[in-house]
């Protein structure tokens, strides 16, 4: 017996222990996805991932350099960002297609602060954004992303495409200096039109034409060898154009001919490893951590927010019907930025262009990112002297063409056909970004969108009409959605306003078919509505309400119990046989 008791007592402990191990395993597989796919990895997958990784690398190198220049940083910052993003996402990323690294929007959001405070601020923003994104992922705050609507995102991305493209016009035409805004970029070109250099312009425009032609090559991944060659050429078009530019400028510079402005010196060697700068030295002033955060202002919020939106939107676009764990993506993205700050990289997020190339190349797992990272790492170690000869006009052409395909004018027509009122946040975001800056434009769009959301919450759809049932005229009221406190007074006012226009004292039915929940404020106003109608000798019936809403209302005022009725139709409530009891119950 003692033995049996010990076994009986131990069994629950064993069960709890086994359950704990299972829960721990699930947690690790969810938080470290590489543990799930690496044990079943195969040589065939490695071959596909290698091809995809090399193809993406040929796009990542010129884009990394170009976006670093957009941000006002040395080219290596963009390369370092791509390297660390690829390696960290391998372990923690849940989407096989996503490539994390520098993007045009991240560069744009960093540009203003880099011009004021220097290169260290970009690394600081990278670290701070990573911490915020990681914290949001750990706290399961991915649902907050859903409060930024598609019109706001579209307005922001379209404005960003225009701002970035126009910021490169001066470089495309060989003009010196930088522009501070969309309007400033255009004014700068107009004011200095007489300083435009011929050969930079010719090279830039020619590069744009070649990029567009390569993108539209009729190649196929599964066709003949020639079609496969065209397909690969189309995917690697950025690298092809940059390589042609390097060869051309190197040949001319070697002969003493210098018709183009080139990128210039790029720091050699592998990325340095060290803590991010927690204080920024600019001129004779040193900003401590809190002062630096204060200097960033809204950027401290907008950069992580945009990074999350961009990365999760891309993950959903390439999920192909699979669910996307937004919290895990935020967890991975936060770590990419935190570790990226340790090698002096700029803020990173998912790149739509490189992710599309990755997907088109047939990547099987996140291992493709490691191949991309190794290629970029190799370029940093061995090819930095070659990158010095990249013509600035060629990089400007790469950016402008990329922004051209990023700009989606059709979204205006689609929203006009779908829901015209959504044009308000779209237009406000778009114009505000162009006029006052991308960060403030994004905030303005979110605020307008939330105002519209609150307005429709406070003004829910109401069906109010008179009906005749078995010769009895009734006022039928049907809310088209759940009711919350902003709508409470509105519902009461609408019913009373309608009743005040009639001299007859007709019964009122409030249908609750679409009302799945109410709060205390709504309960109070419905009780007041009952009192207002009784003062006019009108009866109120709550018809077909769900149990949860009914319980809330009765908990507020138990006397309302007799006012609830459930039946298949209004006719059954006010039929000649059932109407008198209903009226008596209401009167009681």
Residue range 92-107, pLDDT digits in tens: 888 888 889 898 888 8
Mean model confidence pLDDT for the chain = 83
pLDDT, position 522: 87
pLDDT, position 570: 66
Percent of the chain topping pLDDT 90: 11
Q: What is the mean pLDDT of residues 231-236?
A: 82
**β-strand partners of 510:** 477, 542
Q: What is the mean pLDDT of residues 546-571?
A: 82
Tell me which residue of 321, 354, 318, 368 sits closest to 239, measured CA to CA: 354
- Residue 132 pLDDT grade (very low, low, confident, very high; cuts 50, 70, 90): very high
Tell me which residue of 165, 124, 108, 168 sits closest to 306, measured CA to CA: 108
pLDDT at residue 386 greater than cutoff 80: no
- Residue 504 pLDDT grade (very low, low, confident, very high; cuts 50, 70, 90): confident
pLDDT at residue 584 greater than cutoff 50: no
570, containing H or E segment: helix 570-573
pLDDT at residue 347 greater than cutoff 90: yes
**Cα(338)–Cα(440) distance, rounded to whole angstroms?**
25
pLDDT, position 17: 61
- Residue 581 pLDDT grade (very low, low, confident, very high; cuts 50, 70, 90): very low
pLDDT, position 578: 43
The two counts, helices (H) then strands (E), for the chain are 27, 9
Higher pLDDT, 124 or 569: 124
pLDDT at residue 45 greater than cutoff 50: yes
- Lowest model confidence (mean pLDDT) among 6-10, 12-16, 260-264, 434-438: 6-10
pLDDT, position 583: 35
**Cα(479)–Cα(463) distance, rounded to whole angstroms?**
6
Q: Which residues of 567-579 are buried (b: 16+ CB within 10 A; e: fewer)?
A: eeebeebbeeeeb
pLDDT at residue 553 greater than cutoff 60: yes
pLDDT, position 575: 56
Q: What is the pLDDT of residues 178-198, one digit of tens each?
A: 776 788 888 888 888 888 888
Percent of the chain topping pLDDT 70: 91
CA angle 419, 425, 430 (to 5 degrees): 120
136, containing H or E segment: helix 120-138
Q: What is the mean pLDDT of residues 367-384?
A: 84
Is residue 112 helix, strand or coil? Answer: helix
pLDDT at residue 221 greater than cutoff 70: yes
Q: What is the mean pLDDT of residues 212-238?
A: 83
pLDDT, position 212: 92
pLDDT, position 97: 85
- Lowest model confidence (mean pLDDT) among 147-156, 260-269, 305-314: 260-269
Q: What is the mean pLDDT of residues 30-45?
A: 85
Q: What is the pLDDT of residues 414-466, one digit of tens each?
A: 999 988 899 999 999 999 988 888 778 888 888 998 898 888 888 888 888 88
- Lowest model confidence (mean pLDDT) among 2-16, 288-302, 326-340, 548-562: 2-16
pLDDT, position 579: 40
pLDDT, position 213: 92
- Residue 1 pLDDT grade (very low, low, confident, very high; cuts 50, 70, 90): very low
Q: What is the mean pLDDT of residues 22-28?
A: 73
pLDDT, position 458: 82
pLDDT at residue 484 greater than cutoff 90: no
Q: What is the mean pLDDT of residues 546-564?
A: 86
Is residue 388 helix, strand or coil? Answer: coil
- Residue 207 pLDDT grade (very low, low, confident, very high; cuts 50, 70, 90): very high
Q: What is the mean pLDDT of residues 400-426?
A: 88
Distances (CA, A) of 153 to 130, 148, 158, 159, 398: 21, 7, 8, 10, 23
**DSSP at 391:** B
Name 256's Cβ contacts closer than 8 Å, sequence gap at least 6. none
166, containing H or E segment: helix 150-167
pLDDT, position 20: 62
pLDDT at residue 576 greater than cutoff 70: no
Tell me which residue of 347, 354, 343, 482 sits closest to 97, measured CA to CA: 354
């Amino acid at each position: 017996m003692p033995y049996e008791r010990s076994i009986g007592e131990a069994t629950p402990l064993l069960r709890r222990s086994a359950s704990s191990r299972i829960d721990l395993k699930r947690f690790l597989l969810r938080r470290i996805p590489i543990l799930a796919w690496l044990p079943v990895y195969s040589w065939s997958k490695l071959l596909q991932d290698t091809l995809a990784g090399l193809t993406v690398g040929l796009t990542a190198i010129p884009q990394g350099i170009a976006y670093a220049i957009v941000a006002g940083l040395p080219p290596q910052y963009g390369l370092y960002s791509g390297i660390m993003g690829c390696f960290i996402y391998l372990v923690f990323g849940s989407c096989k297609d996503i490539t994390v690294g520098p993007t045009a929007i991240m560069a744009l959001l960093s540009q203003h602060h880099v011009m004021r405070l220097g290169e260290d601020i970009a690394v600081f923003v990278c670290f701070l954004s990573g911490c915020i994104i990681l914290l949001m992922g750990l706290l399961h705050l991915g649902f907050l992303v859903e409060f930024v609507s598609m019109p706001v995102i579209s307005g922001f991305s379209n404005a960003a495409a225009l701002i970035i493209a126009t910021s490169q016009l001066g470089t495309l035409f060989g003009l010196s200096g930088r522009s501070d805004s969309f309007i400033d970029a255009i004014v700068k070109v107009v004011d200095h039109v007489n300083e435009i250099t011929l050969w930079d312009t010719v090279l830039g425009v020619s590069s744009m034409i070649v990029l567009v032609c390569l993108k539209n090559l009729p190649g196929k991944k599964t066709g003949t060898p020639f079609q496969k060659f065209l397909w690969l050429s189309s995917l690697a078009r950025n690298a092809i154009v940059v390589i042609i530019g390097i060869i051309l400028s190197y040949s001319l510079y070697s002969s003493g001919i210098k018709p183009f402005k080139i990128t210039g010196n790029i720091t050699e060697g592998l990325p340095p490893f060290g803590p991010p700068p927690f204080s920024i030295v600019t001129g004779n002033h040193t900003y401590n951590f809190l002062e630096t955060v204060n200097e960033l202002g809204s950027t401290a919020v907008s950069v992580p927010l945009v990074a999350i939106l961009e990365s999760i939107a891309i993950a959903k676009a390439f999920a192909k019907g699979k669910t996307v764990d937004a919290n895990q993506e935020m967890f991975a993205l936060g770590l990419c930025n935190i570790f990226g700050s340790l090698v002096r990289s700029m803020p990173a997020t998912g790149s739509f262009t490189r992710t599309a190339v990755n997907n088109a190349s047939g990547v099987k797992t996140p291992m493709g990112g490691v191949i991309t990272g190794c290629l970029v790492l190799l370029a940093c170690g061995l090819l930095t002297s070659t990158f010095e000869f990249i013509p600035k006009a060629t990089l400007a052409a790469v950016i402008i063409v990329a922004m051209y395909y990023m700009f989606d004018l059709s979204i205006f027509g689609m929203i006009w056909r779908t829901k015209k009122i959504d044009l308000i946040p779209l237009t406000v975001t778009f114009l505000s970004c162009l006029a006052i800056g991308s960060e403030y434009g994004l905030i303005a769009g979110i605020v307008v969108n939330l105002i519209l959301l609150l307005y429709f919450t406070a003004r829910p759809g109401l069906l109010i009409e008179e009906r005749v049932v078995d010769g009895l005229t009734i006022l039928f009221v049907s809310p088209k959605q759940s009711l919350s406190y902003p709508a409470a007074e509105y519902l009461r006012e609408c019913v009373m306003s309608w009743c005040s226009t009639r001299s007859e004292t007709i019964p009122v039915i409030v249908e609750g078919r679409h009302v799945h929940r109410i709060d205390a404020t709504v309960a109070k106003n419905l009780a007041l509505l009952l009192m207002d109608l009784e003062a006019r000798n009108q009866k109120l019936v709550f018809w077909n309400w769900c149990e949860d809403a009914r319980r809330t209302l009765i908990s507020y005022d138990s006397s309302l119990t007799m006012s609830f009725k459930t039946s298949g139709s209004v006719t059954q409530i006010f039929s000649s046989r059932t109407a008198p009891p209903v009226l008596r119950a209401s009167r009681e």
